[in-house]
Chains A and B, each alone.
Chain A
Amino acid sequence: MPFSDDEVAELKHFFPDVQGAKEGGITYLLLQNAKLPQGCQPGSMDLLLCPNERDGYPSRLYFAQKLQQPASLNWNGNCRVLERNWCAFSWKVEPGLRLAQMIQAHLRALR
């Protein structure tokens, strides 16, 4: 995996069961049954982080299904990765973040 040990350790502090898999030259990170911020419906689901540039975004966080709440999200990122269908909403996170920061920055859109 192309991540530093301390970056991984930091991520596992928040997501102890995080797993990785490669496809098309990119390593994706799977967060199974991740708890979403308060007010989200559903309250948890599988998430998939693409930490590389994709679809014109510096990084992308994919969701196993569209959220019913918040309702105002612009879901523009349907895709198929690692033999599953995922969706993502439009939310640009600055490049150069560590993995844990990256995920938190993406989830900030749901607060």
Chain B
Amino acid sequence: MTDRYDRQSFLGARAQEAIATARVGIVGLGGGGSHLVQQLAHLGFSHYVLYDPDQVEESNLNRLVGATQTDALEHRPKLAVAERVLRALLPEVEIDAFAVRWQDHPLPLRSCDVIVGGLDSLLDRSELEVCARRFLVPYIDIGLGVRRIAPEPPRMSGQIVLSMPGYPCFRCIGFLNEEDLAAEARLYGDAGPRPQVVWANGLLASIATGLVVDLVTDWTESLRAPVYLTYDANSGVVLPHPRLRYAVNRACVHFPDDDIGEPTFTPL
């Protein structure tokens, strides 16, 4: 083992091997995803499946870690920025990169040990969770939003949620519901630019990175239940969501144990 990872040797004797072996899927390489890529690279994660169809724009430069002004001027794919960050730290890194929506090329996600999503829409999150549940892949979601209710100052908040197959899902814990999905559907194509800032994205991504490390190494030996953390960016406080305690001991009703793998159609 090289000296590079000496400072993280406290994670356990086999931690670095587990980190180097794990395959991480990152869906969305924007404000949150770009932080994740950077942190995971520093930690030594060496196998990636990456999805993002977008190019770098000027308006991304307030938060897209690794992106430069030249990237914006040249409309470089966000994928290319992520690959550059990874290869600069890990020349031998293995990257499966797809400049499309994951739904248009879903097979590689099935090979991941963990998926982290930095997605904008609730529908995308819902669909990604379905895929992750079908193929038994833990899925961590991060997201940030800003609400403005005049005359109060804006309120910025976010979440980090872990959907673990076999345990309560996003719907069980109230993170997703049909009402919110329907409201989002009514705004189809008209959601407008979402407020995003680098420090809040960074915090969410850092917590998600810590979760990924804990999942892969079990170094804390305390990750034993679903995670649903809320982040109040105005106060800087991160707390477990109160809804979690009502769901944590219940079986998931949305993804039964027999609903895994390719869908099975039966004649009516």
Contact = CB atoms under 8 A, between A and B. Distances in A.
Interface residues of B, number: 30
Interface in B216-238: none
B267 A83 contact: no
Contacts, number: 68
B146 interface: no
B205 to A, nearest CB: 25
A13 B189 CA distance: 39
What class of interface size applies to chain A in its complex with B?
A: 20 to 34
Interface string A27-59: 001100000000000000000000001111000
A53 B123 CA distance: 15
B264 interface: yes
A22 B268 contact: no
Contact of B106 (A19, A22, A83): A83
Given A53-B178, A56-B185, A85 B104 contact: yes
Interface in B174-188: 178, 181-183, 185-186, 188
Given A19-B267, A83-B262, 17 more contacts: A12-B268, A19-B265, A19-B266, A20-B266, A20-B268, A22-B256, A24-B126, A24-B130, A24-B171, A24-B254, A54-B182, A56-B183, A56-B185, A80-B103, A80-B131, A83-B134, A85-B104
